[in-house]
Chain A
Amino acid sequence: MELFRLTVAEARKLLDKREISATELINSVYRRIDAVEDRVRAFITLTKGQAAGMARNAGTKIKSAGPSSPMLGVPFAVKDNMCTKGILTTCASKILFNFTPPYESTVTSRLNDEGYVLVGKTNMDEFAMGSSTENSGFHVTRNPWDLKRIPGGSSGGSAAAVAADECIAALGSDTGGSIRQPAALCGVVGMKPTYGRVSRYGLVAFASSLDQIGPITKDVRDSALLLNSIAGHDPLDSTSAPVSAPDFTAALGRDIKGLRIGIPGEYFIEGIDPEVARAVRDAIRKLESLGAVPVEVSLPHTGYAVATYYVLATSEASSNLARYDGVKYGFRAEGKDLMEMYMKTRSQGFGAEVKRRIMLGTYALSSGYYEAYYRKALQVRTLIKKDFEEAFKSVDVIVTPTSPSAAFKAGEKADDPLQMYLSDIFTISVNLAGVPALSVPCGFTPDNLPVGLQFIGKHFDEESVLQLAYAYEQATDWHKRDPDL
């Protein structure tokens, strides 16, 4: 078996038994990148030089025989909106085309402490705004299952890199589905942890009250392993919860007999691809056969989620992106005075979708509209949260499709933002409610495109989500398929 196909858990075993070296592993990953990256284009920056050094260091540590940390010597891809000290961090935006942070995000710093190996920084929709990675300011990433199709987004680069075995695992960020939707479309596992579970320090903000970093992996066990490494309170992030993280792998393999799984009627609506609906229904039956108990639940405010999200997320974004003004770092256009410099910098530096969202958010916060839009959206957000609280009184985990359709063709929705926004219809409520959710492969369309199944858990109950997803994954072999590249 080629080393690049390994999971984190498999690599760990082989590295610790010294059957392979960290250098052999990263070399294999880079050979794979050499072979497929010109077609997939998952990365913005490849850090081959640094990776070699990190692998050498890992090798030395492994040889010194002490207990190795879980990620020691394991090659990772990191979405390009997480700051990596001394390494270009662009958010796939021209406005940050030359930005090299002098500081490290908390997540990568934790992985660094464990001795991980950074493969490179992955492509994404500019500032994580999009569902196809077509909004990248640099290039379009392709879906490894069908190169004419998009990988989903905004963490499309990370999901494609995992699916194409261009890394062992990856980090993505999820504001409205940006981990789960591309994971579903690329046939890999993607998890958005509870809001506050993982530090956002060093994650370039899109919508601060919704953004959350999470793992994109080849299977559920790796998801739990990676979450172990990145979860936990961070004094640098006031919104990171002051709760200690459990060992998430402990949930794997627990019997799911008697677990109540909620099926929300609102998620099996018109407009959902019948192939997707069929795969999800089959998956629910599979879970039932494993002992889980399906229960119908209702999330009555689901229909307002997309509108609520686009008011809140764009409002926060309009403010978060104000700092890109050409004054301190990044791209600057020359202007005859300050105002002209601001205007030219921002109109040339940001892409169309980012500008659209800045305008939407600015409008929603403007005096005279704030009450009607922003405050109203906050109120609906509370109702959506309550929907989940209510549903979780009778079930342990909620099961839904991750995305209403499989991967669509590049360019298909690029000019229709509303159509594009609807790709996140099943993932957005989760961010609004702040609860954890995970997407796991649950089948393929007749075109051989992966379909994702979403498990949604209670606040800080990633364990039940992992437990169910793992049980499902072990009883199926969708995750074992590889794209033909």
Chain B
Amino acid sequence: MKYEPVIGLEVHAQMLTETKIFCGCSTKFGSEPNTQTCPVCIGMPGVLPVLNKKALEFAVRTGLATGCTISLYSRFARKNYFYPDLPKGYQISQYELPICEHGRISIIVDGTVREIGITRIHMEEDAGKNIHEDRGNFSFIDLNRAGVPLMEIVSEPDLRSPREAVEYMKKLRAVLRYLGVCDGNMEEGSLRCDANVSVRPSGQKEFGVKVEIKNINSFRFVEKALDYEIRRQIKVLGDGGKIIQETRLWDSGMGVTESMRGKEEAHDYRYFPEPDLVPMVVDKKWTDEIRASLPELPDVKQARFVSGYGLPEFDADLLVSEKAMADWFEAAVKAGGKPNSVSNWMKGELVRLLNEENKSFDDCPLAPEQLAGMLKLIDNGTISGKIAKTVFDEIYKTGKEAEVVVKEKGLVQISDSDEIEKAVDDVIAKSPGEFERFKAGEEKLAGFFVGQVMKLTKGKANPRIVNELLKKKLSS
């Protein structure tokens, strides 16, 4: 029997606010344990939460960017459970009346556009971290992260393959980064993903029994964990078994999902409205202001890059995947670079150099104007495309203008026919045998001669002139 997977994702995105959601502590990552805490975020008796308005603004921004309805009246709720890294014994989250509902994100898989529904986006506080290593019989707790603002973005069960899930995550990440509300760093945990997965016989309308998978913390694992889980479920059903509703944990080391707790052991979180915070009343004027301040989002930008710059769809997709990359592209075009050339150099040489250094367009050492300057030198024949690679490496490393590099290194293309002819003659003189064969009609030797001339001129000879001269020598 053929089965179809049904997947919904719950994504936790850490918001890029300077301070925590209910107190003034810093949200900086990686400080000494418990140095970014205060009575509020460590749950001392009698203290009270005060909402960070920036967190609310970020949630509203995200909601507006994903086509959600913004609740003009929403509120926080307490999610109650005991755990040492949860200092109050409850997490302040949202339950009934979340801030955003009914949105969507579109993804492209195999050339087809799919609209993935967003059920809700709500705000909540993060928990701390238990530290178990090297501490004998004790565990220790770091509460620096406790109270860091999160958005939980819950999708509809609209995803039909692990690939779609990955595309959805990528698109969501891009949107969050465009909005500046989350850095999208899965390794540092600022973007985390849980998945609800079920399978059903193809053609069946009803959903199968769903399993929740926790602890998926990289893009690679989204696909792997889902692949594994879908195959596992299909095998269970194929063997005549039944899927049990449960929570499973993705073990990235073993590459498997393992049962964590069944339906019976599921927590009863005893949600109820948070009495320490008043309901949030968001006024329409404010959301309109936020809407007006939204940046151009990836989908719109992509379409504009295709129609406005004449870029191929695929190139435009790649360029808009990061806002910094798209901005870089446009700056280079504005500085005079031809769109297609800029795009080609970016996705080829520039991405290669950035990857080598583990850098991104956010901290790209090359200025867009430098690339545009170099492209001008190619276009006006000052340097050859081949030399340009050397020039590119140099301007990337030194931050100098291409013109300066070309001058300093004497890389100007030789277009002087006399000078090139001299080189051609030298090469012919050195390889009389090859020249005879070339003359006799062995055309592929043309490449050999061009190569030798380039070698002799350190790549500076204008290849067009070299070819012309060779042809002339042949017929003489």
Q: Chain A residues in contact with chain B, CB under 8 A?
A: 81-83, 89, 91, 96, 99, 101-103, 105, 200-205, 207-209, 235-239, 315-316, 318-319, 321-325, 327-329, 338, 342, 362, 365-367, 370, 374
Contact = CB atoms under 8 A, between A and B. Distances in A.
B82 A325 contact: yes
22 contacts: A82-B46, A83-B46, A89-B45, A101-B39, A101-B44, A101-B45, A201-B48, A235-B50, A236-B50, A239-B48, A239-B275, A239-B276, A239-B277, A318-B270, A319-B80, A319-B89, A319-B90, A319-B270, A321-B89, A328-B43, A328-B87, A367-B268
Interface in B330-382: none
Contact of A201 (B43, B47, B78, B270): B47
Contacts of A327: 84, 87, 141
B84 A338 contact: yes
> Which of B39, B42, B89, B270 has the most C-beta atoms of chain A within 10 angstroms of its own C-beta?
B270
Given A239-B276, A367-B268, A103 B48 contact: no
Contact of A319 (B48, B78, B268): B78
Contacts of B89: 319, 321-323, 325
B262 interface: no
Nearest to A338: B84
Given A315-B272, A319-B272, A205 B88 contact: no
A321 B90 CA distance: 10
Contacts of B84: 325, 327, 338
Given A201-B48, A237-B48, A365-B80, A323 B43 contact: yes
Interface in B247-305: 268, 270-272, 275-278
B275 A316 contact: yes
A238 B270 contact: no
Nearest to B43: A323
Contacts of A208: 275-276
B46 A365 contact: no
Interface of B: 39, 42-51, 78, 80, 82, 84, 87-90, 141, 268, 270-272, 275-278
Contacts of A200: 46, 48
A230 to B, nearest CB: 15
A342 B84 CA distance: 10
B400 to A, nearest CB: 53
Contacts of B46: 81-83, 89, 101, 105, 200-205
A202 B47 contact: yes
B275 A209 contact: yes
A60 to B, nearest CB: 31
A323 B268 contact: no
B459 to A, nearest CB: 69
Nearest to B139: A338
Given A103-B39, A328-B43, A322 B48 contact: no
A426 to B, nearest CB: 24
B86 to A, nearest CB: 9
A357 to B, nearest CB: 15
Nearest to A93: B45
B271 to A, nearest CB: 8
A318 B87 CA distance: 15
Nearest to B42: A328
B45 A91 contact: yes
B56 to A, nearest CB: 12
B268 A238 contact: no
Contacts of B87: 323, 327-328
B44 A329 contact: yes
Nearest to B76: A238
Contacts of A99: 45
A102 B46 CA distance: 12
Nearest to A346: B82
B473 to A, nearest CB: 87
Contact of B47 (A103, A316, A322, A370): A103
A322 B29 CA distance: 28
Contacts of B43: 323, 328
B82 A374 contact: no
B80 A238 contact: no
A211 to B, nearest CB: 9
Report the 5 A-B pairs with minimum CB-CB distance, sorted nearest first: A322-B89, A365-B270, A208-B275, A209-B275, A204-B45
Contacts of A204: 45-46
A99 B276 CA distance: 22
Residue picked from A99, A102, A202, most chain B C-beta under 10 Å: A202
Give the one of A204, A325, A366 with max B CB within 10 A.
A325
Contacts of A202: 46-47
Contacts of B78: 319
Nearest to A241: B278
A99 B47 CA distance: 14
Given A101-B46, A323-B87, A328-B42, 20 more contacts: A96-B45, A101-B44, A101-B45, A200-B48, A201-B47, A201-B48, A202-B47, A235-B50, A238-B276, A239-B48, A239-B275, A316-B275, A319-B90, A323-B44, A325-B82, A328-B44, A328-B87, A365-B80, A366-B268, A366-B270
Nearest to A329: B44
Contacts of A237: 48, 50
A285 B42 CA distance: 54
Contacts of A203: 46
B275 A323 contact: no
B361 to A, nearest CB: 40
A437 to B, nearest CB: 20
Contacts of B48: 200-201, 236-239
Contacts of B88: 322-323
A103 B46 CA distance: 10
B93 to A, nearest CB: 13
A105 B48 CA distance: 11
* Highest count of chain B CB atoms <10 Å: which of A96, A203, A321, A328: A328
Contacts of B276: 205, 208, 238-239
A261 B87 CA distance: 48
A91 B46 CA distance: 11
Contacts of A238: 48-51, 276-278
Contacts of B80: 318-319, 322, 365
A103 B47 CA distance: 9
A139 B319 CA distance: 72
B41 to A, nearest CB: 11
Contacts of A201: 46-48
Nearest to A368: B268
Given A102-B39, A235-B50, A322-B80, A362 B270 contact: yes
A81 B275 CA distance: 18
Contacts of A96: 45
Nearest to A211: B275
A204 B48 CA distance: 10
A99 B44 CA distance: 10
Nearest to A339: B82
A207 B275 CA distance: 8
A342 B45 contact: no
B270 A103 contact: no
A370 B78 CA distance: 14
Given A238-B278, A328-B42, A365-B270, A322 B50 contact: no
Given A201-B48, A238-B276, A322 B39 contact: no
B278 A239 contact: yes
Q: Which of B45, B48, B80, B270 has the most CB of A within 10 A?
A: B45
Contacts of B275: 207-209, 239, 316
Contacts of B50: 235-238
Contacts of B271: 365
Most B Cβ at <10 Å: residue of A91, A207, A327, A342: A327
A420 B114 CA distance: 63
A316 B272 CA distance: 9
A284 B253 CA distance: 79
Chain A CB count within 10 A is highest, among B90, B272, B278, for: B272
A200 B277 CA distance: 12
A318 B268 CA distance: 14
A89 B47 CA distance: 13
